[in-house]
Structure 1
Amino acid sequence: MRRRDFLKGGSLAFGGLLLTPIGTKANIIKEEFGKKKAKNIIFMVSDGMSAGTLNMADIYSRRKLGRPSHWISLYEDNLAQRGLMDMASANSIVTDSAAASSSWGGGHRVNNGSINIGANGEEYLPILQKFKKAGKKVGCVTTVPITHATPAGFSVFTKNRNSQEEIASLYSELGFDVMMGGGHKYFDAAQRKDKKDLYSVFRNKGYAVARNKAEMNAAPQNKPLLATFDEDGLPYSTDQFSSSFIKNNIPTLAEMTSKAINLMKDHKEGFVMQVEAGKVDWAAHGNDIAGLLYDQLAFDDALKVALDFAKKDGNTLVVITSDHGNANPGLIYGKEVNNNFDRIQKFSQTNEWILQGIQASDSISTIKDRIAQANAGIKITDEQAKEILSFYSKAKREDGIYNPRHLPFKLLSQIQQEFTSVGWISMDHSADYTELAMYGPGSDQMKPFMKNTDIHTFLLKAAQVENKF
């Protein structure tokens, strides 16, 4: 028998054992989803994730954990549809998170800085409100304030993304089922400008309110949940590892995702939720490799939670993407690149932890010791330590979106490059076509290249919800 005839049937039999060629099982799984309704949708966003971030997280996972990342594993096992997405806003080829999320949430491109408001004041009804009106449970989970741009883009419309107190008030009128993340100060009467106690408003509407992990875990099944675990954004995963207080009181993104699914999974009409790793973006803005890498890996853990549920459930579409690139980090060729990158496995703190803890009165040796403590013993020079210290006497300053104290994040990342082999092109967003992957019912209809606004209609169609609202 010729080899091509032997293989023609697509399977091999040896000693009575049927061997299925690689990819066949995956194709069967895809065929299972064909034209099937997505009862549930989990929309996963690693905010500000450049291609290099996804790449480095996978390399880390293989070298440290002995396995691919869960995201890349979907590609290796041929279980997901994969494509690219054009994320431009209405007024720029480089989007911000508000316009990016609005393109998915409201189905229209809007100007950077606004949330589901068109250039002429048009108000676009966000998709979670549409799904709620259609009878589904809905929710958002994030590692930044729940009022931040990405959750807000799926939930409300407002002219200014920075009006987070207003967004918190708008949330109280929506009747959403799960809202979890940071942002306590936008709900707290003592910190709001209008002194309104939004927690009381939510409780009076039947919500359970959680402020820590124990309260989240104890939240009952029969109530919607509002949970704010920190004043603003949640701590970076790296800093969480080294603090028993943080670990005991603030849940990981995976833990929040699991709780949200459990609260909504038994609803007869299904659920739709957005899960965001918002601090991947914040770390990219700060060129903070430990913050970036470990928060991307935390996102990957949350992705596993969503995929495990979807594989068992069979009726859940998981969408995995990013809203834009940011700082475009990557590994740079050199004979020490392997060892340098592996050194990050022993980093115990973020650059934010390092820089926020330095005082103008600190000595050169104190700064060198602090960096060595956080970064696996690396030894910077006295001159480098002096330059870092100059920012605390305000002789020098750096600007940045999440750098109100004008601390030397860029300088520190440049110093670290010798020890990590990680380089950065900027400290801001880039116009990358973003990675897009889908698993579950409806994924067979995904195109290999999509415009961001196409996602809005795509999700409604996948769930067979009429776009009539």
Structure 2
Amino acid sequence: MKRRDFFKNGLLTSLGLGALGSIPVLTSAASSKKKAKNIIFLVSDGMSSGTLNIADILLRHKEGKASNWINLYEKNIVRRGLMDTSSASSLVTDSAAAGSAWGGGMRVRNGALNIGPNGEKPVPILQKFKSAGKSVGCVTTVQITHATPASFCVNNGSRNAMPVIAEDYLRLRFDVMMGGGAEFFSPEKRADNRDLFDAFQQTGFEVARNRAEMMKATGDKPLLAVFSEDGLPYAVDRVNNKEMSENIPSLAEMTSKAIEIMSKNPKGFVMQVEGGKVDWAAHGNDAAALLYDQLDFDDAVGVAMDFAMRDKETLVIITTDHGNSNPGLFYSSKANENLERLFETTASNQWVLNQINPGFSNSQVIDLFMEYQKTPLTQDEAQIILSAYKFNEEGLYNPQNLPFHPLASIQSKYTSIQWAGTNHSSDFVELAMFGPGSENLSGFMKNYELHNFMLTASKMDKDFLV
């Protein structure tokens, strides 16, 4: 087969399976005796296996305990497999296509949200569960309109259509939607000057703009909670800043509140929980931001598992949509000492770099990194960082076009963490499950198979299956 035909048809078509997940995969799920009343689908976006590993090592050596995710493996509490992450257009997926495989049950081209290679528009999975009477929602550390939450909710040819996706959420009336992205709801930021916050309130939503307002929500109305412009702050920045900590919740707090609200529905609930800034930190090769956001996500895993172990009717799925940058902790005579430097880090690379302006001297840069990251940069290294700035330019995942990658190259000798790249990878990824239906997890799955897996575990009518 010609290479262009391979990608035109998608990987599954090339293997004779077709774009749709219509082959009767995982049919043993039908034999599950107990129905999953609820589903909590947890996604650490862009989590390479090295991210999971280093975060666990960091936590063990800093606090003397394992991460929740690895502890589930150690105690053999969950079923575990690997998942292929290809899209219809590439062996290396983006988040929109990866999430759409789960959300729509078919592989789509990178950049699309539940729009198939031939224009198909599969019904997104949260719409299916909503129509069955369940409460549904998403919580994330990036914009609530971003690719991964949107992939469970809407059909759109472009993941970049976030102003439109915000309007779709108003129409869909999902029960809980939490994250960042105020620019897509505020009249001051929207091109059409429409005040979507007001529109949500006028149509019966409770709208929360900070942590306290979220905590007060009773669940008597559907809840839209938007805590920041763009994505939420990195966890390492939030926990070390009093104002941020008071106003912006952790992912675990959002997850707990969403469960509290949606578990009131006697028919159950389905929710997606995304650690979205794990992916952003990986793109920037920012070790501190990456590892502490992974641990922030891991706290949400703990919340979900605590509920599921008590409830006994909840299927918990823990995974990622793709790897990103493939970090690793590599050997040196100071590897242990270097990792311990991250114990005392109190700010992400993004936060520190944003403090630097064109008038900074090398010595000021050195002082800044020593104060917040305990990194003893040399004069030459400080000059490399200053010379790499491109002030007043913009970049993807990096609006200020900060010199993340020159800095990361310098930091490797101080952290012993090295990176394979700055973008998504084609790695098979971790997939873990607990609760009703998890017994049918096979050792290897393709991402689109999870759509029918969830529907079958919930014993939804076969008409809902793709």
The reply to whether TM is greater than 0.5 is yes
CA distance in 2, matches of 1:121, 1:305: 38
Contact 2:35 2:457 in 1 (8 A): yes
Contact 1:69 1:300 in 2 (8 A): yes
C-alpha change, 1:76 and 1:373, in structure 2 (3 Å) is same
CA distance in 2, matches of 1:188, 1:393: 29
Secondary structure of the residue aligned to 1:45 is: strand
In structure 1, the residue matched to 2:378 is 381
Identify the match of residue 46 of structure 1 among 44, 47, 50.
Answer: 44
Contact 1:184 1:230 in 2 (8 A): yes
Identify the match of residue 56 of structure 2 among 37, 58, 67.
Answer: 58
Identify the match of residue 432 of structure 2 among 432, 437, 444.
Answer: 437
Contact 2:134 2:270 in 1 (8 A): yes
Q: Please list, as runs of the form range in 1=range in 2, the aligned pairs for 1:65-464 lying within 5 A after superposition.
A: 65-376=63-374, 378-392=375-389, 401-464=396-459
Contact 1:285 1:401 in 2 (8 A): no
- Uncovered stretches (5+) of structure 1, i.e. residues with no partner: 1-32
Shift of 1:393: 6.0
CA distance in 2, matches of 1:392, 1:49: 28
Secondary structure of the residue aligned to 1:468 is: helix
C-alpha change, 1:273 and 1:392, in structure 2 (3 Å) is same
In structure 2, the residue matched to 1:24 is none
Contact 2:142 2:230 in 1 (8 A): yes
Contact 1:40 1:315 in 2 (8 A): yes
C-alpha change, 1:317 and 1:393, in structure 2 (3 Å) is closer
CA distance in 2, matches of 1:467, 1:435: 28
Q: Out of 191-200 and 296-305, give the one that drifted further.
A: 191-200
Secondary structure of the residue aligned to 1:190 is: coil
CA distance in 2, matches of 1:320, 1:242: 27
Q: Write out the 4+ residue segments of structure 1 that deviate beyond 4 Å after TM superposition.
A: none
Shift of 1:385: 0.9
CA distance in 1, matches of 2:364, 2:450: 51
Shift of 1:403: 2.0
Contact 2:32 2:457 in 1 (8 A): no
Shift of 1:68: 1.1
C-alpha change, 1:393 and 1:318, in structure 2 (3 Å) is closer
Q: Please list, as runs of the form range in 1=range in 2, the aligned pairs for 1:18-33 lying within 5 A after superposition.
A: none
Shift of 1:34: 5.0
Shift of 1:213: 0.5
Q: Partner amino acid for 1:457?
A: N
Q: Partner amino acid for 1:352?
A: Q
Q: Partner amino acid for 2:429?
A: T
Contact 1:42 1:275 in 2 (8 A): yes
Contact 2:350 2:402 in 1 (8 A): no
Q: Partner amino acid for 1:380?
A: L
Shift of 1:335: 1.7
Instruction: Choose 1 or 2 for highest CA Rg.
Output: 1
CA distance in 1, matches of 2:395, 2:424: 12
Contact 2:389 2:403 in 1 (8 A): no
CA distance in 1, matches of 2:56, 2:144: 28
Q: Partner amino acid for 1:272?
A: V
Secondary structure of the residue aligned to 1:346 is: coil
C-alpha change, 1:245 and 1:467, in structure 2 (3 Å) is farther
CA offsets, 1:278-307, max 9 Å, x none?
000000000001100000000010110000
Secondary structure of the residue aligned to 1:345 is: coil
Shift of 1:65: 1.6
Shift of 1:391: 2.6
CA distance in 1, matches of 2:395, 2:52: 23
In structure 2, the residue matched to 1:28 is none
Q: Partner amino acid for 2:376?
A: K
Shift of 1:356: 1.4
Secondary structure of the residue aligned to 1:180 is: strand
Q: TM-score, normalised by structure 2?
A: 0.91
In structure 2, the residue matched to 1:25 is none
Secondary structure of the residue aligned to 2:255 is: helix
- Uncovered stretches (5+) of structure 2, i.e. residues with no partner: 1-30
CA distance in 1, matches of 2:59, 2:346: 17
CA offsets, 1:341-394, max 9 Å, x none?
111111110000111111011111111111111112x21111111111113366
CA distance in 2, matches of 1:266, 1:75: 30
CA distance in 2, matches of 1:246, 1:381: 31
Contact 1:208 1:220 in 2 (8 A): no
CA distance in 2, matches of 1:190, 1:462: 44
Contact 1:320 1:437 in 2 (8 A): yes
Q: Number of matched residues? A: 434
Shift of 1:204: 2.0
Contact 1:360 1:393 in 2 (8 A): no
Sequence identity percentage: 56
Contact 1:111 1:118 in 2 (8 A): yes
CA offsets, 1:400-448, max 9 Å, x none?
5312333211111111111110000111000011100001110001111
CA distance in 2, matches of 1:382, 1:58: 33
CA distance in 2, matches of 1:335, 1:34: 51
Q: TM-score, normalised by structure 1?
A: 0.91
Contact 1:89 1:100 in 2 (8 A): yes
CA RMSD in angstroms, aligned pairs only: 1.4
